[in-house]
Structure 1
């Protein structure tokens, strides 16, 4: 009897066929709608392997109900949607996809920075609403990016990639991380700062830190008050690293100039989300890694992780408790 694998979102046929060579496979056929919790729990109960993604919440109760599960492979870098402790207690391995999406997510991070700085969404709305009249000296003036100061919170792979892009724009780049990154300082030419100093002195603040208990609402009302009133905040980490109510207040009251966000506390957001009522925020639907090439590589890596786990082989990219 072949091992059984459940895929939680529709994948290209070639990815499914990779797993089908060795396993029985079933798949939630919806591309945009997450698998309901009751179906996910039922599949986890009988599966040997789970191919999931960032929108699937895999709880302790689901894991404790598993009868044969050996591997949970997520098509994402983050894994806070999976109860890692419960999986470890049952000897179930977890795999994720670091590295492969670094450059693509850094591209998107810098695109948000540039769009917010130069007020690109506002410019598009001005055209749509027939508000573009004669040339005016200060119409839609934004912030210079070149020769400004970029502060990066979280100097992992993506943070370093964003720093390299900043240096390419002649920016002064500073960073804060839970530990100093001396190699990055030397290789990229960045400088370490304590968090308060970074917030107080940066023209742009990019948050690329992973979500942990320590980073929950790291950017809160106090943090935004420390930023320059001309500063722009960008988040491509996880939504729960930011207190969205505090961000809304900071943007509305002019405590900071603008923001660019790809992630939110609860996803997807609706068209009635308060942040959408503000002109000085650029919002995207969590597309940081969404290039065709990168998403394909992520899916392929996740399929390989499923097979490695079922075979009992070492995982290329394991998550450890």
Structure 2
């Protein structure tokens, strides 16, 4: 078994598995010079697929004899999959599968396991936190007090509102979007959803209403992005969509920056065509401190923290190893998949 996501908790869980099933494992790191390089490499893989980056050199020597391959960000290309002789399963500690060539795995009959919703609680909580922080000026007030200013009225004073009675638009209704909807219920809001891949019945079952994107953009008081980045979702929130927003509306993004057209958003914020935005993700990470968006007064920004909780990491590790349990059992009994 090969595990490319080293941490103390990971190795402790692998030790438990090794003792229980008589397995051996090798822990590797997909090394990068620093966090910025790691983020850039990860973004390249998300945008261009697994061949965009190379895995650790040693992996080419280990994969041919491995039964299980577990990764986090490390790319798993067709070439790497084809080099394997014994792989029974490929698993990733991520929600998405952009770093794994799932077509190549399917051709070889190798199942791929991911963790949809692994960050749903962390990101949904953070999303609602950003909604309140931006509309109620929490971060701006904090910054002003630290600078010696006791500010009571900010630029959005005339549309600094309560959530109760407002319309919240969710773009994307996967595990995170659903959790946001559930947690917003106690705020007495109306929730509308755009997601062409989720049925009207499923959306209605969580107390929300399915609508087309243009309607969501024009009717929402707060719009929150929860869609994966793909060819169809890249820049899906562009100039035309942003122009439909109310001048009192806010845009929240804890998903992927590239879902929004950066220039269109910047123009709308700078001209006060919309009330404001809260961004936890950027088009380049770490963000360039000279980025003009950072100079705007009507933006709350954070450093891609929405999914960064100890709970999310622990739950991911235990959930993944639990889903791999049938493979450990079969391999320990000497059986191989058909």
TM range (shorter): 0.7 to 0.9
8 Å contact from structure 1 (residues 153, 206) kept in 2: yes
Q: Compared with structure 1, are the counterparts of its residues 90 and 190 closer, same or farther at alpha carbon in structure 2 (3 Å cutoff)?
A: same
User: TM (normalized to structure 2)?
Assistant: 0.78
Q: Compared with structure 1, are the counterparts of its residues 18 and 282 closer, same or farther at alpha carbon in structure 2 (3 Å cutoff)?
A: farther
1:60 Cα offset (Å): 3.9
Distance 2:121 2:240 in 1: 31
2:13 matched to which residue of 1? 15
Deviations 1:263-308 (A, max 9, x none): 3344443434443232322223333333322220101223344565
2:59 to 43, 63, 77: 43
* Of 10-19 and 211-220, the range deviating more from structure 2: 10-19
Deviations 1:80-139 (A, max 9, x none): 233322332333332111244322321111111111111222111101211226xx5668
Q: Compared with structure 1, are the counterparts of its residues 98 and 138 closer, same or farther at alpha carbon in structure 2 (3 Å cutoff)?
A: closer
2:3 to 6, 9, 23: 6
2:47 matched to which residue of 1? none
8 Å contact from structure 1 (residues 221, 247) kept in 2: yes
Distance 2:96 2:203 in 1: 22
8 Å contact from structure 2 (residues 234, 260) kept in 1: yes
| Alpha-carbon RMSD | 3.0
Deviations 1:193-218 (A, max 9, x none): 11101101100001112233221221
Distance 1:71 1:239 in 2: 31
1:163 matched to which residue of 2? 181
Q: Bigger relative contact order, structure 1 or 2, given CA contacts below 8 A and separation 6+?
A: 1
2:293 to 249, 265, 275: 275
1:218 matched to which residue of 2? 236
1:104 matched to which residue of 2? 122
Q: Compared with structure 1, are the counterparts of its residues 271 and 93 closer, same or farther at alpha carbon in structure 2 (3 Å cutoff)?
A: farther
8 Å contact from structure 1 (residues 70, 310) kept in 2: no
2:200 to 164, 181, 187: 181
1:319 matched to which residue of 2? none
1:45 Cα offset (Å): 5.2
Higher fraction of helix: 2
* Of 20-29 and 224-233, the range deviating more from structure 2: 20-29
Q: Compared with structure 1, are the counterparts of its residues 138 and 7 closer, same or farther at alpha carbon in structure 2 (3 Å cutoff)?
A: closer
8 Å contact from structure 1 (residues 116, 260) kept in 2: yes
2:249 to 224, 227, 231: 231
* Of 247-256 and 219-228, the range deviating more from structure 2: 247-256
Instruction: Give the paired residue count.
Output: 306
Long gaps (5+) in structure 1: 314-321
Distance 1:242 1:9 in 2: 33
1:62 Cα offset (Å): 4.0
Q: Compared with structure 1, are the counterparts of its residues 28 and 193 closer, same or farther at alpha carbon in structure 2 (3 Å cutoff)?
A: same
Long gaps (5+) in structure 2: 42-52, 332-338
Deviations 1:152-185 (A, max 9, x none): 1112222222122222111111111214331441
